[in-house]
Chains A and B, each alone.
Chain A
Amino acid sequence: MSDRVDLRAVGLFGLVALLFVGTGILQSWNVALTILNMGLISAIMALGVNMQWGYAGLFNVGIMGFVALGGLGAVLVSMPPDTEAIAAGGGRVLGGLLLGAVTIIAAIFAWRRGGRHAGWLMVAVLIAGFFLYRAMLDPGVEAIEAVSPANRGSIGGLGLPVLLSWPVGGLLAAGAAWVIGKTALGLRSDYLAIATLGIAEIIIAMMKNEDWLARGVKNVIGVPRPVPYEVDLQRTQSFQDLAARFGADTVTASAIAVKLAYAGLFAVVLLILIWLTQAALASPWGRMMRAIRDNEVAAEAMGKDVTRRHLQIFVLGSAVLGLAGAMMVTFDGQLTPTSYQPLRYTFLIWVMVIVGGSGNNWGAVLGGFLIWWLWVEVEPLGVLLMQGITAGMAEGSWLKSHLLDAAAHMRLLTMGVILLLVLRFSPRGLLPEK
């Protein structure tokens, strides 16, 4: 890396740091830390997408799905198990899922070995298997969902420490990515885009409707935390003394302390990931990846198995996305499937990667922080702007109230304009690849 680029990176990161410090001083440190924590998670998501796009040129527009699967992983690992519900229908559900898996394996077997009527055989296996699967699964699902549905009605989780759920979230996302990659990679690039777009919608639909799994739209709340609760901190004498020494009241101090603890955890994960990705990029493997991205035909001629490498990097990048998803659910303390919107979880991450600089890990991280800060802050800024514009208008006029109401939608417009401007005038991003 040349010195000039280094300076540029340091300067840009300094600028972003200033934005966060400014938020802390002008608004509140609590807000600044909340944005910072989500910024750290966004940076990890951007790293994952950068692995797929920047290293290998894979166009994944199903980020939302992988992130949501990670969140599901967090719930399934960390929530306490609901023994009553599992006793009521757990066996049937497990049997149904196994039956589903057997059906798919049998269908693949039929397709490969079926001889002349392979297609028909596969369809027959799939149809028969589907009805068997539903017959097995449905009563179990009903039994589980009938167990006091108002506040339980799901299988719960394994009751393990929540930190353990982070890698599990990654694994879940990686599994889904493997299935998608197996079908859509090797075909033209647009097909991967559409396939990932589809799988993301299906994952969200599944999480909204399969109440037995994670309560669906009834949401899971109270996901265990890896850090202490604010109320517990406020009660301990040593923390009260500490807060007094800083001259802050205990409530604010406890909120900030908890967020700092999260920030520390997330920062450790981010640093480990940056270290790993940078090492991978500099290794022979990273060079091979870039060679494949820049010229697939030449790389293939050199004996590289392009489709296999693509599958590998697609699974790895999706695992990082799942990890970030699990971290986000841990930070929020709840899983709300309805909050997963493609503009927020798929396309915003893309803006981060493109603006930051695709192919450059530091660029992706920078984009994650910067765009997340903008995403949060554009709304109040938009309201301010609208108040300025409408200041001269008559009180209670139709246009004035409409403009003030609509200010909240400014962020989408802003993100689009930023993406288009960067793509046009600085197509390699703020921190270009070397």
Chain B
Amino acid sequence: MEPLHALVTLANFVIVPAVAYGSQLALGALGVTLIYGILRFSNFAHGDTMAFGTMAVILTTWGLQSAGIGFGPLPTALLALPVGIAVAAALLLGTDRVVYRFYRDKKAVPVTFVIASLGVMFVYNGFTRFVIGVDDQRFADGARFLVSARGFRDATGLDEPLVIKSTQAITVVVAVVVVAVLFWFLNRTRTGKSMRAYSDNEDLALLSGINPERVVTYTWLIVAGLATIAGTLYGLDKSFKPFTYFQLLLPIFAAAIVGGLGSPIGAIAGGFVIAFAEVTITYPLKKVLGYFLPESLAPDGLVQLLSTDYKFAVSFMILIIVLLIRPTGLFRGKSV
């Protein structure tokens, strides 16, 4: 039974949280990588776009809750998602119209876009704080657990509990659905194909009559959806705090670069690589190893490789290793 206990412990404290976190990062990184592929710049405002979209979802959720509308065992926020996405899409399209289009027409160098995105980041950040404040907001409702500690113990008779929060399950399900729809869109529809063509070779795409503004508009719409969903899932799973979303920028970028900037598959892989590394390295593995190893070899310390405060260091180290060994990322992204 010992290895089984080790597996359950590992699943409880490492695999389940990392899968959920990895899905959130993957959705965030998909947004970054799409903007990079189509608009060709690193969007520093992405974390704050997520915060903004989530804020719209939270406000709608509160409205629904006070109107007495719920979603049964599922969180009400899922019902509010379309509204949040619409608001975020309006914001992103407006931003593109006011800020980015000007530089696109001028064929400005990518770094100008990046600096513009810094300004956009400030504005979004200030706006989000202006409306909802800087404090933690919890907006998860519905059932708390899919698998509770007691339920698992009663069902299996194992000593070690396994807990799966319903938010974690929802995260994974939603992420799978979103990714499936996104890939279907990119690979099967005319618009999706034109987006990929534009990303691969702008000149050839223009030559074959693809309307660049249309491609850009669709990109922002998709990014609004991805960012809002990623932000809402993260907020449901943990909690919503504007500054945390700003800080998510680092692991999200790390995921996108590790996977290869501009490669959607890479963004997903990168998200899970970063999430698993972060959770494994900052979790005290004593219990797991204690089950795996014979008594005499069991570790004395916690075997926590790094304290949780250093979780940014993990994404950073993976990033550096990938940059040194394979600068284009795991899935051969663009390297301009």
Contacts and interface: CB of A to CB of B under 8 A. Distances in A.
A329 B130 CA distance: 30
A354 B257 CA distance: 27
Interface in B230-250: 246-247, 249-250
Contacts of B250: 194, 197-198, 201
Interface string A392-416: 0000000000000110011111111
A424 interface: yes
Nearest to A405: B133
Contact of B336 (A59, A188, A410, A413): A188
A409 B126 contact: yes
Contacts of B312: 198, 201-202, 205
Contact of A416 (B119, B133, B307): B119
A209 B42 CA distance: 30
Given A198-B250, A201-B316, A416-B126, A193 B42 contact: yes
B254 interface: yes
Given A57-B111, A198-B316, A205-B313, A423 B130 contact: no
Contacts of B307: 209
Given A59-B111, A187-B323, A413-B127, A423 B310 contact: no
A304 interface: no
A189 B323 CA distance: 12
A410 B324 CA distance: 41
Contacts of B320: 183-184, 195
Interface stretch (A18-26, A262-270, A278-286, A342-350): A342-350
Interface in A333-364: 342-343, 347, 350-351, 354
A427 B103 CA distance: 11
Contacts of A351: 118-119, 122
A412 B125 contact: yes
Interface string B112-136: 1011101111111111011101100
B309 interface: yes
A43 interface: no
- Tell which of B116, B122, B323 has the most Cβ of chain A within 10 Å: B122
B111 A189 contact: yes
A383 B292 CA distance: 61
B227 to A, nearest CB: 18
B118 A413 contact: no
Contacts of A229: none
B327 A205 contact: no
A346 to B, nearest CB: 9
B126 A197 contact: no
A347 B310 CA distance: 22
Contacts of B249: 197
A354 B310 contact: no
Given A183-B320, A194-B42, A209-B309, A201 B121 contact: no
A416 B42 contact: no
Interface string B250-275: 10011001000100000000000000
Contacts of A193: 42, 114
Nearest to B256: A194
B122 A419 contact: yes
A424 B310 contact: no
Interface string A160-198: 000000000000000000000001100111110111011
Interface in A194-214: 194-195, 197-199, 201-202, 205-206, 208-209
B27 interface: no
Nearest to B95: A420
B118 A419 contact: yes
A17 interface: no
B101 to A, nearest CB: 11
B130 A409 contact: yes
Nearest to B108: A427
B130 A413 contact: yes
Given A205-B312, A354-B115, A406-B133, A191 B123 contact: no
Contacts of A188: 327, 335-336
A188 B130 CA distance: 36
A343 B316 contact: no
B323 A202 contact: no
Contacts of B127: 413
B183 interface: no
B169 interface: no
Given A189-B111, A416-B126, A208 B119 contact: no
B108 to A, nearest CB: 9
Contact of B323 (A119, A183, A208, A342): A183
Contacts of A187: 323, 327
A176 B236 CA distance: 37
Given A209-B307, A410-B126, A420-B99, A347 B111 contact: no
A417 interface: yes
A229 to B, nearest CB: 35
A410 B102 contact: no
B323 A347 contact: no
B114 A190 contact: yes
B248 to A, nearest CB: 11
Contact of B310 (A184, A205, A410): A205
B239 to A, nearest CB: 19
Contacts of A189: 110-111
B313 A413 contact: no
A270 B122 CA distance: 28
Contacts of A409: 126, 129-130, 134
A405 to B, nearest CB: 8
A427 B129 CA distance: 28
B9 interface: no
B120 A410 contact: no
Contacts of A61: 44
Nearest to A57: B111
Interface of B: 42, 44, 99, 102, 110-112, 114-116, 118-127, 129-131, 133-134, 246-247, 249-250, 253-254, 257, 261, 305, 307, 309-310, 312-313, 315-316, 319-320, 323-325, 327, 335-336
12 contacts: A183-B323, A191-B323, A198-B312, A351-B122, A354-B115, A409-B134, A412-B122, A413-B126, A415-B122, A417-B123, A420-B120, A423-B119
Closest 7 CB pairs of A and B: A416-B122, A412-B126, A413-B126, A416-B123, A198-B316, A419-B119, A420-B119
